[in-house]
Structure 1
Amino acid sequence: MSAVPLVPEDPYPVSRRWRLTGWLLAAVWLIFLNTALDTALHQEQVWRRVLGVGTLVAFGLGYVLAFEWGRLMRRSGRPIPSRRAWAILGGLLALGLAGMPGTGGEWMATLVFVAAAAIFLLPTRPAVVVVLLAATTPLVLGRLVPGWGPERTIFFAVLLASLAMFGVSRLAQRNAELQAAQAEIRRLAVAEERARTARDLHDILGHSLTVVAVKAELAGRLLELDPARAATEIADVERLAREALADVRGTVGAYRGVGLGTELAGARSALTAAGIRAELPDGLPELPAERDELFGWAVREGVTNVVRHSGARRCEIRVTATAVEVRDDGRGPVAESDAAGHGLVGLRERASRLNAGVTVGRRSGGPGFLLRVAVPGAED
């Protein structure tokens, strides 16, 4: 049927088995055209027989294509074009009427499918109007056309089919909404994973490259004054570069971990290379794995900021079972944007997973800057 458009591409591809099930769901109801088909096949005149069978076949194919088109439009979340829906219904009705010379009064069985298609393709109000017209037509024509008789069976079939199609259409709509929600969840998950990877790469490379830059600068100054010390610093630069590369690979592979003990050792090396006196704890309390990792990230971010921005001469790191502090005697970040950079954003995100608080700003009662991460119940 020319009025039926080509079936659009399914935006949520499914297996061939389930696609075939969708087609069968529409085609199986065509069994109710069997009486009209039997009437057409028993016509004495060949042209009536051919016309009746041909229009019924075209009607069935048009109905199945219309159902599949409407189903895919709903799956894609796109509105069904009103003009095209009316054109489809008009084409189906025209095929049913065209088959009357071959099917006689049995053509009215096609009204059941026209009503069901209206429920599936049209908004509620016009669909109800079509259903009422399709239901009353057999009763009216049965009284007006001699030999047809009132088709009460068609009347009830139209109402029942419309009610069943109403349930099918609502189910299709809910499935489309569910699939759209799932697609949005997948998109947000990908965005979150990208943000996590970007955050981790920033935290890892920001710290490592800062230390590499400081040590390279120190090696340059010592090259003539103390070549042996310069060679040691260059060896440290090479080691740090390899560790940074390993961390990046670990981040991409999602198996890298950060520990407080490792970060304290790295902090001592970075602070010493920058000419900042490091005051670190002699021992560490037993910490749960998640808290140990969070405190490690806090030390990494705090020391990176001290080396980059503070201009400090001394940096102190304190660790308790419930909190970690990185404090210095310098000027802190040179601008507010430095204090709220990507590293601290990432640290706050990690802290929020443990309901921990992050404090960053000027030290009270003295010069310098303070970064503090405390889990619930931490004492000031």
Structure 2
Amino acid sequence: SATATPPPPALAAPLKTSQFGNVKNPAALLRYALPVENKDIRNVQAALERISDDERIPANKARRLKLKQDISAASDALNGGRKAILAANAGAATQLDALAKGLDEFVAIVENAGSDKGLEGEANLQQIPIKQEALLNIVGAVEQGMVKGMAYDVPKQYAESMPTLLGRATVEVELQIANPPNAASGDDGRRKMTLELDGYNAPVTAGRFLSLVESGKYNNVKINRADGFLVQASGGGATSDPIPLEIRVANANRGAPPEYGMTFEDLGMYQDSPQLNFNALGTLGMAHSESDANDATSQFFWAIPDPRQGSLLDGRFAVFGYTTSGMEAVRELSQGDVIKSMRVVAGKDNLIRPKGYEAPASAPAVAAATEEADGGSSSSE
């Protein structure tokens, strides 16, 4: 069965550092991955994303100065670009007003944040990431409103033979950990996750995964690999045709589809970064064997990044989404733990099946966990 394996020693080095630097927040990576070309809203976003780095500055005065500089940059970009932003999203006026008001409030929080400002200062420090997230959620909503469908056509040979996800979809996951770390304190081992699948950049891979979720192939299957590098499972009994390796280049021109069938190394693209990278804990990747990048079927994995060396998987395995909540459970999962269920909670209408494609049957009822992988017994390699 298809198994994700670390690259051999000759390839054991990451490709060029991603354009997103050290961004590890899945929500931020998903915002960057939207097919949006409006520079003004992107400038607002970039300034607010930098807050995450600003927070790590140890000195109170220096931190406050840098935070205020980036909030000011976001305000300037918003005020200067409002007309262009509304031209791209005519319904965003109320959101932009809320964003402007929130930025003013953010300045007030920052001016009184720090250990040198007493208890109020400590409390305001805790408010900084909360306010940042709230404002970035508004930015993300404005950007989503600018999306005008797919930025390219899925190649005909895949669009006519495989399910494709033309947009995004959300999947809820329920897990059962056999030996939870805090069992003595009443931890029952139940965990929940939310997955966001990105068909804008990986329509074939995300489409395959979502189709299998809908058919119940990931209900009651056991984790077959958990080694500190990745956590892997397979669709029980899935016998789907293989799908090609699918990786889209970061900042690709509108109209340019992903690269199919070959790794970035095979293509000589050593200086390129993938649009969807493995920076975030719980990044969703599709597994394939070491010898064939195009034999992926149903085995997928959650990645556990190593901050010391960058990702060894970028450009070699397809990313098709991110874990947006509950990602801490990835570090707790062990071989033999169970995915109790997966269900689609949003974006189902974005899944397009080709003419004549047989829709999967309804998800089966919860039953005993299985280790079946692609029609046979899985193994942890």
TM range (shorter): under 0.3
Give the structure with higher Rg (CA). Answer: 1
Give the TM-score of the pair, scaled to structure 2: 0.23
Give the TM-score of the pair, scaled to structure 1: 0.23
- Higher strand proportion (structure 1 or 2): 2
Q: Tell which has more relative contact order, 1 or 2 (C-alpha 8 A, sep 6+).
A: 2
- Higher helix proportion (structure 1 or 2): 1
